[in-house]
Amino acid sequence: MVAITFIYFLSSQLGLHRGIQTLSVINVYLAFLMLLLVAFCVPLEPIINTVWAAIRDYTMLIVSGGWQLESQLRQPLWANVWTYNYYFWWLAWGPFVGVFLARISRGRPLWQ
């Protein structure tokens, strides 16, 4: 929490343009570091097999599920799992949505 708070404070002090740009550059470096760590410290064969299986399963799901007209909400287990997924998705994307809304509003009131 301290590191995230410090990064937020630093980006807000740098201004909207430079702050987002600095965070983006840091994010690219961290992603590249993570890629190197995974490439050299983790066996890649299970990861590649999982990716190919996921692509195959997703393609089959799109083909078969695209023609289903019955609502998925009739299955309560699916609705419960989706609720948690929805919450975590908004927690992850909430800051980006907030920055986007602040960027496009530019100090205008809500009614505008």
Report the 10 Å Cβ neighbour count for 51.
10
Parent domain of 95: 73-112
- Residue 106 is predicted with a pLDDT of 75
Its pTM stands at 0.42
**Total count of domains within the chain:** 2
Residue partners of 16: CB distance under 8 A and separation at least 6? 99, 102, 103
Per the model's pLDDT, the better-predicted residue between 34 and 68 turns out to be: 34
Per the model's pLDDT, the better-predicted residue between 106 and 44 turns out to be: 44
In tens, the pLDDT along 73-82 reads 566 666 666 6
Asked if residue 61 is part of any domain, the answer here is no
Asked if residue 65 is part of any domain, the answer here is no
Asked if residue 22 is part of any domain, the answer here is yes
Pair (2, 40) in one structural domain: yes
Asked if residue 86 is part of any domain, the answer here is yes
Asked if residue 50 is part of any domain, the answer here is no
Asked if residue 112 is part of any domain, the answer here is yes
Per the model's pLDDT, the better-predicted residue between 52 and 19 turns out to be: 52
Asked if residue 27 is part of any domain, the answer here is yes
| DSSP symbols for 22-59 | HHHHHHHHHHHHHHHHHHHHS-HHHHHHHHHHHHHHHH
φ, ψ for residue 40, nearest 5 deg = -105, -15
Asked if residue 60 is part of any domain, the answer here is no
End-to-end CA distance of the chain: 35
Pair (40, 77) in one structural domain: no
- d(CA 92, CA 75) in angstroms, rounded, equals 26
- Residue 99 is predicted with a pLDDT of 82
